[in-house]
Amino acid sequence: MKRMMVLAIVAATPLAGAVTVRDDAGNAVTLEKPATRVISMAPHVTEVLFAAGGGSRIVGAVSYSDYPEAAKSIPRIGSNREIDLERVISMKPDLIVAWMHNSSERQIEMVRKLGVPVFLSDPQTLDGIPDNVARLGQLMGTDAVANPAAAELRRQLASLRARYAGRPPVRTFYQVWDKPLYTLSGRHIITDALRLCGGENIFEKLTVTAPVVSVESVLQADPEAVFGTAEKNYGGVKLWKPYATLSATRMDNLFTVDGDLLNRAGPRMITGTAILCEKLELARRHRTP
> Do 174 and 116 fall into the same domain?
no
Percent with pLDDT over 90 in the chain = 78
Q: Same domain, yes or no, for 193 and 139?
A: no
| Residue 26 and residue 122 in one domain | yes
- Residue 161 falls inside a structural domain: no
pLDDT for the residue numbered 80: 76
| Same structural domain, 19 and 152 | yes
- In this structure, the answer to whether residues 55 and 145 fall within a common structural domain is yes
CB atoms near residue 78 (< 10 Å)? 17
The total of structural domains in the chain comes to: 2
Asked whether residue 208 falls in the same domain as residue 114, the answer is: no
Which amino acid would we find at residue 120?
A: L
162 located within any domain: no
Which 3 state secondary structure label does DSSP give 177?
strand
What pLDDT was estimated at residue 13? Answer: 37
**Per-residue CA distances from 208 to 54, 69, 124, 183, 213 (Å):** 33, 33, 14, 10, 11
Contacts of 6 (CB under 8 A, 6+ apart): none
Q: Are residues 105 and 205 in the same domain?
A: no
Domain assignment present for 6 = no
Report whether 257 contacts 279 (CB < 8 A): yes
Which structural domain, as residue segments, surrounds residue 242? Answer: 167-285
Which pLDDT tens digit goes with each residue over 9-35? 333 334 457 999 999 999 999 999 999
**CATH code at position 83:** 3.40.50.1980
Q: At what angle do helices 189-197 and 143-164 cross, to 10 degrees?
A: 50
Quick: pLDDT tens for 60-119: 999 999 999 999 999 999 987 788 989 999 999 999 999 986 556 777 888 888 889 999
Model confidence, pTM: 0.89
Query: Based on the domain organization, do 136 and 55 belong to the same domain?
Result: yes
